[in-house]
Amino acid sequence: MKKAVLFDLGGTLVEYYTRAEFPGILEEAIGEVEGYLRHLDLFHVPPEAVWQRVRDEDHEAGDHRVRPLERRLIRIFQPSDANCAVAQPVSADLVAEMCRRFLEPIFGRGRRCDDALPVLQRLRTAGLRTAIVSNTPWGSPAELWREEVERHGLFVQSVVTCRDAGWRKPARQIFEFTLERLGASPQESLFVGDDPRWDVQGPRGMGMEAILIDRQGTVAGSREHTIRSLEELWDRL
C-alpha cells in the first residue's frame, strides 16, 4: 500500500489549456501586462521589440532550472517613467502586479476536473499523504499558484511548484523536495500526471511509480500505467 500520492495540477486536477493553445494564451498574457503598463504610462518599448523579446524568452532552461517570470517580464518590457531622466529601479509591487496580470488569461480558463475533489477526499480519509507538484507557466510565482489551488478547493498537505524547488519537472530535485516535505520515500509514493515528458520520466527516474492520466485516450503506447479517470487510482494503490 502506498503512503503518499503526488499530483500534477494542470491537466490532472484542473484543466487550463492544451499545448497547442498556449501560443494564443501567451499572446493574451503579454497583452494584459502591456495594457497595465500603458495605463500607468510605463510602456515605452516599440511593439516589434516586445514580440522579439517574447520569442527570445519563450523557452525553458536545458538543465530544467527555473527561469523566473519576473525577470522575463522586466527584460521584455523594461518598464520606466519617460519623465525621469535617470532610469529608476522597478518596484517589487509593480513586478508582482505584472505577474498577476500575466496569469489572468490562464486562471480565467481554469476548470476543476469533476473527479478531483472526490478522489482527494477519499485519499485523506484513507490516511494517505497528498501533494501537488507542478511546473508553472514561464516560471510564474508560487504564491499566485497557491492562491489558485485554494480557489479550486484542492486541499492537499503540500503544494510545491518549480519556483519552490528551483527546478522544473522532470528534474529529480523537485520530487525530492516534495517527498522530504511529506516524509515519504519514492518507493512508498505514487505520482499522477498528464504529460509523459515531465510526469512519468522524472518520478520513474528516481524509483517512484508514475501513472499517466489520459482523459481523452490520445496518448500512444502501453495502457498498463495509464488511467482515464482519477477514480481508477484505487486499483493501483
Are 197 and 225 within one domain? Answer: yes
All cell numbers assigned to 61: 532552461
CB atoms within 10 A of CB 229: 12
Domain end marker among 107, 131, 149: 107
Q: Summarize the confidence of residues 36-58 as an average pLDDT.
A: 95
Q: How confident is the model at residue 84 (pLDDT cuts 50, 70, 90)?
A: very low
Are 91 and 138 within one domain? Answer: no
Q: Summarize the confidence of residues 17-37 as an average pLDDT.
A: 96
The pTM of the full predicted model, rounded to 2 decimals, is 0.93
Q: How confident is the model at residue 82 (pLDDT cuts 50, 70, 90)?
A: very low
Domain end marker among 80, 107, 134: 107
In the predicted structure, residue 28 carries a pLDDT above the cut 80: yes
Place of cell 518549480: 162
User: Range of 103's domain?
Assistant: 20-107
Are 99 and 131 within one domain? Answer: no
All cell numbers assigned to 234: 484505487
Are 85 and 118 within one domain? Answer: no
The pLDDT assigned to 134 comes to 98
Q: Summarize the confidence of residues 101-128 as an average pLDDT.
A: 97
The pLDDT assigned to 220 comes to 63
Mean pLDDT of the residues in the chain: 93
Choose the weakest-confidence range: 20-34, 39-53, 137-151, 223-237.
223-237
What share of the chain in percent tops pLDDT 90?
86
Are 122 and 57 within one domain? Answer: no
Q: Among the residues of the chain, which ranges form H helices? A: 22-39, 47-57, 69-77, 92-107, 116-125, 142-151, 162-165, 172-182, 196-199, 201-205
- As for how many domains the chain has, the answer is 2
Are 155 and 187 within one domain? Answer: yes
